[in-house]
Structure 1
């Protein structure tokens, strides 16, 4: 079901980034499909969105705004146990987000010379919540809570219309919006939702104002729309199909490892599940567990396709040291460490969206109630990018506060450097202040 790659004899010339399984996710190849969609929304607004929703979601609509009564109804009818789970997840996420808030940093550089590094929330954000193979209600929380904690003043959310729910997003998604106090919700999916946020559109019941930043996961068309519209609007990342890597030695429990590989394969046929292990015995036992556990799951075909795909596999390594090199090269969205001294091993991980330590921290915990965020970089981007957090919804502004004495202290340096760059106007802008003071 899952292929095996043996790197135990690999020498220093092997590029682990190429040797480890990786999904094909060619955003550039999808541009020719997505660009006409984003252009249509820009040029024709609501008319184009309604046509695209009918084409891709099979839903006929007259408007895209979700009525307030639909949000209230969804919350009132929400299963009490689901509500309790959402409330616990929200509380834990709010606690970690509160600790991420940064205060202004003030640096005094001498008399009359001060620079303040000020953190300012983004003014308006558009949050995208997928609703294709699964209604990802947890993504509502993961986007909304850090934005609210950051102090974002205007939040809009879009999720695909569902034919079985009268053209509205899934009711659990609507209930989560109501629970969090998000009132501006739109039944729009795919690339057209990202374009709606980027350009703004007139609707039958008002206007969707353009946003400053779009965040949230999605399929390749959503990701491609982010790339096409980057610059027109800020984006969080170009996140592709979900992925899990597990670094395990012979102390790991095969049943746990197999269950965790399956948990991510359940998302999408393109999902990546990678086991990196020092133990051939464990690899064999995991294969046996996969055969047993997959047969008992609900989404058998989806999971089998993901596990058998080129993006998934078991990688055999000589030791944990080599295993660390492999997982750092892979830079997984989710990385589990199931080894002896797992906390020590985890401390040496440089590249991962999120790290889960030990046998009782499965990725599923992070998806819902760990207090961490599950909107994370994929496709190896964890080597340079971070997951969604409060910081994603803030920006930095340097505030420069100098008086005459402070400027005088460095005036000669400024003018010298300006002239070295052949920018005499820069130098003159300093000199004029002192010439005027001497008259």
Structure 2
């Protein structure tokens, strides 16, 4: 059902990050190869615009939408027809996400460096953003919430949502995606997915003007496209297939752990599910629970493939200190800590997209209604990258104000440093003001 990696007795302290990376499970995703494959498509969209996007949608999604831009009436109709229970759940998700993200807002701050000389750091939003909502094996209105809310809180003026056209819905994105957009007040929505949607956002196509930043999760083709357009536009990260890691000891409930591994494995056959534990008894009990729970799941075959893949494993360690070293090296998108004194262990974690503490904070809660953001770094990128937040959409700009006296006082130092770098005109630009 799931591979087992036994690191007991291993001198983990002797392994550097690369060594640990080699022994831990990880999905085989060659973004570089995918980038080479999608580069011609991106060039085609850049050259031919809307026609290239529509043709790519027909080829990859099996449908050609009547237009890329989703009509306003389709958004309104989707919201009108939305199941009231789903609407209520989305409203709770939006309210909680907004509450958390409001606390991320940064205020301008002025530092008085010297009398007459100050530097103010201003935080300004980008003007226009492109937000990707996946629509392949599953449909993710929750990703609309997670993309849109921080952008709105940041003060972004123009929000553009893209999502793949659906053959069963006449070439429009899934109605629940459209309803979530309408609920959030997003009016500019396009029936485009995959690499071609990223290219459209970056270069512009048809009615869609280029954006400043592209955010949101997707498959390897979306990640590859984001890598290629970085520099033309900003991106959040190359978020790929989902991951869950669970750090647990013998106090954890095996039914809970198994259910949580399954919950992420149902996303995709390449989704990663990893249990790190110092308890062989718990490991055995979790595997036994998987044998019971997986066949009962709606997407049992997909889950079984994900759990059996090389990206998933039960990892046995000598103790929780070793387990902490393993999960830090793994740098999971989602990390659950189900141990005694779970909060203490959770606050020692350095590398994770998000950390879920104790038996009543499953990853599923974070996916929908914790208030946290679920657009998170994958593939080990949590060791250097953060999840989507208000900061993603803000730029810090320094505003420098010096009067004559303050400049005169520091001028000799500027001139000396300019000469040290053999850039005398830099110094002269200061000295000319006092001749």
Decide: shared fold, TM above 0.5.
Answer: yes
CA distance in 2, matches of 1:151, 1:18: 42
Match of 1:189 in 2: 193
Residue 356 of structure 1: SS of its match in structure 2? strand
> After superposition, what is the alpha-carbon deviation per residue over 1:414-437, rounded to whole angstroms, capped at 9, x for unaligned?
0000000000100000000011xx
CA distance in 2, matches of 1:138, 1:302: 21
Residue 335 of structure 2: SS of its match in structure 1? strand
Equivalent residues in 2 for 1:243-262, closer than 5 Å: 243-262=243-262
Equivalent residues in 2 for 1:29-178, closer than 5 Å: 29-178=33-182
TM superposition shift of 1:62: 3.5
CA distance in 2, matches of 1:139, 1:274: 23
Residue 201 of structure 1: SS of its match in structure 2? coil
CA distance in 2, matches of 1:220, 1:316: 30
Residue 434 of structure 2: SS of its match in structure 1? helix
Q: Contact (CA 8 Å) 2:65, 2:165: kept in 1 or not?
A: no
TM superposition shift of 1:13: 2.8
> After superposition, what is the alpha-carbon deviation per residue over 1:73-109, rounded to whole angstroms, capped at 9, x for unaligned?
0000000000000000000000000000010121001
What stretches of structure 2 of length at least 5 have no aligned partner?
Answer: none
CA distance in 2, matches of 1:32, 1:153: 34
Q: Contact (CA 8 Å) 1:50, 1:62: kept in 2 or not?
A: no
CA distance in 1, matches of 2:25, 2:200: 35
Match of 1:409 in 2: 409
Q: Contact (CA 8 Å) 2:65, 2:172: kept in 1 or not?
A: no
Q: Contact (CA 8 Å) 2:97, 2:373: kept in 1 or not?
A: yes
Match of 2:14 in 1: 13
TM superposition shift of 1:398: 0.5
TM-score, normalised via structure 2 length: 0.98
Match of 1:311 in 2: 311
CA distance in 1, matches of 2:103, 2:123: 15
Residue 114 of structure 1: SS of its match in structure 2? strand
Match of 2:228 in 1: 228
CA distance in 2, matches of 1:356, 1:62: 43
What stretches of structure 1 of length at least 5 have no aligned partner?
Answer: none
Residue 119 of structure 2: SS of its match in structure 1? strand
CA distance in 2, matches of 1:409, 1:251: 65
Q: Contact (CA 8 Å) 1:376, 1:386: kept in 2 or not?
A: yes
TM superposition shift of 1:240: 1.3
Q: Is 2:275 the partner of 1:275?
A: yes
Q: Contact (CA 8 Å) 2:117, 2:401: kept in 1 or not?
A: yes
Q: Is 2:334 the partner of 1:334?
A: yes
Residue 408 of structure 1: SS of its match in structure 2? helix
Of residues 10-19 and 247-256 in structure 1, the stretch that sits farther from structure 2 once superposed is 10-19
Match of 1:397 in 2: 397
Residue 413 of structure 2: SS of its match in structure 1? helix
TM superposition shift of 1:111: 1.1
TM-score, normalised via structure 1 length: 0.97
